Amino acid sequence: MLAALKSALATLEIPPEKVVISSGIGCSSNLPGYIRAYGHHGLHGRPLPVAIGIKLANPELVVIVTAGDGDEYGIGFNHVVHAARRNHDVKLIVMNNEVYGLTTGQASPTSKVGQKTKSTPDGSFIYPLNPLSTLLGAGATFVARGFSGDPKHLSFLIQEAIKHRGFALVDAISPCVTWHDIYDEVRQRMYKLEDSGHDPSDLLSAIKRANEIEKIPLGIFYRTEERPSFEELVSQEIGREPPVQAVKRLSEQQIKSVMAQFY
């Protein structure tokens, strides 16, 4: 996952000082500590509100959230649905391993029926969340799924997400080799949407593909740039410039005197 993200940023030639990565809590959320860019490692389930604030303050930055399925599809899912609905220009990469890895392998919202975990020793009996079709229903403008076992393809999906004008979800299947190693199973069941004639501008077809059970489609399910991003709406509708522009006009002396008030 980390290699795919680094390669995506390098391929797009985005310099480290233009990138901010916000994460929650979990094994996956440690990612900002392993990449040379600005980073934020915050509260469980809350990396999106921080990312949204950063993007509103300085829309010139590429703002990416990296976190786990427990973080983003469980405790923090409220933020995901509304970030998608409002089309905030942040990129959400969820390392989906179908368990809570850091806390030693309990069931997560994407654990399958029958999946044996520490908290479901007889197999889970709860129907899992389908984050892709849920977000397509919530109005997400870019929805994709990749696999950590295919970092080249995952890098391509991350690049497309970064280039997209608006909110983008990349659900990255990244099996937990300690608590739920399904690498072989994913390899057997996966196929690429781009090899299947799927049209990513067709929302109904995207929802249908997202609800497939036997096979695991990888690729871009849906993409539209017909809706403006939240940041574009703020500048068009409210006519307010981002705070970073106002700060840029201040002299060094003015910045020092503002900062002095906080000491």
Ligand X SMILES: Cc1ncc(C[n+]2csc(CCOP(=O)(O)OP(=O)(O)O)c2C)c(N)n1
What is the pattern of x (binds ligand X, CB under 6 A) and - over residues 105-124? Answer: ---x----------------
Within 7-46, the residues that bind ligand X by CB under 6 A are: 25-28, 44
59 vs 175 by CB, closer to ligand X = 175
Sheet (strand 62-68) strand order: 38-41, 19-23, 62-68, 91-96, 168-173, 142-147, 216-223, 190-192
**Min dist. Cβ of residue 67 to ligand X (A):** 6
22 vs 87 by CB, closer to ligand X = 22
Evaluate whether 67 touches 84 at the Cβ level (below 8 Å). no
Among 71, 150, 160, 171, contact with ligand X (rule: CB under 6 A)? 71
Evaluate whether 142 touches 168 at the Cβ level (below 8 Å). yes
118 vs 192 by CB, closer to ligand X = 118
Closest CA to 67 of 133, 119, 1: 1
Closest CA to 186 of 197, 173, 168: 173
DSSP for residue 124: -
26 vs 166 by CB, closer to ligand X = 26
Residue 49 touching ligand X (CB under 6 A): no
**Residues in binding contact with ligand X, number by CB under 6 A:** 17
Interacting residue ranges for ligand X, rule: CB under 6 A: 25-28, 44, 68-71, 95, 97, 99-103, 108
